[in-house]
Amino acid sequence: QVQLVESGGDSVQAGDSLRLSCSVSGPTYRRYCMGWFRQAPGKEREGVARLSIDGASSYANSLKGRFTISKDNALNSLYLEMTSLKPEDTGMYSCAATDFPITQRSCLDLAGRNFRYWGQGTQVTVSS
């Protein structure tokens, strides 16, 4: 059974930074395509970043340069470093993983509906 547990969400001011963590339990962690998604009230879920098994990453165009996805295999953890936060970054941030065989290219463009495992989310609120 794969479980994802997010942490690190907070209420911050515009311009602040936050680091979200996602603790992953599962027998094949190193073979997961992983990602971060967010959903603001009244809006559809949005892909934030994805990380392939070999460490390649992709980001939503509007977030490039401000957000960084990374992982620590020794700690079975996925991270999202967020800088220069804006009020429009407010939302519920969730990590996701899938252990289906997948190419790097497909992982970096994987839609949310194709991720098999999801965490409960952690709330980020950015005030102006």
Q: What is the pLDDT of residues 45-85, one digit of tens each?
A: 999 999 999 999 999 998 989 999 999 988 899 999 999 99
Given pLDDT bands bounded at 50, 70 and 90, which one contains residue 26?
confident
Checking if the pLDDT of 36 tops 90, the result is yes
Distance CA 36, CA 59 (A): 9
Residue showing tokens 């953890």: 77
Distance CA 97, CA 115 (A): 6
- pLDDT of 112: 94
Q: Convert the pLDDT of each residue in 81-115 to its tens digit.
A: 999 999 999 999 999 999 888 899 999 999 999 99
Element housing 67 (H / E): strand 67-72
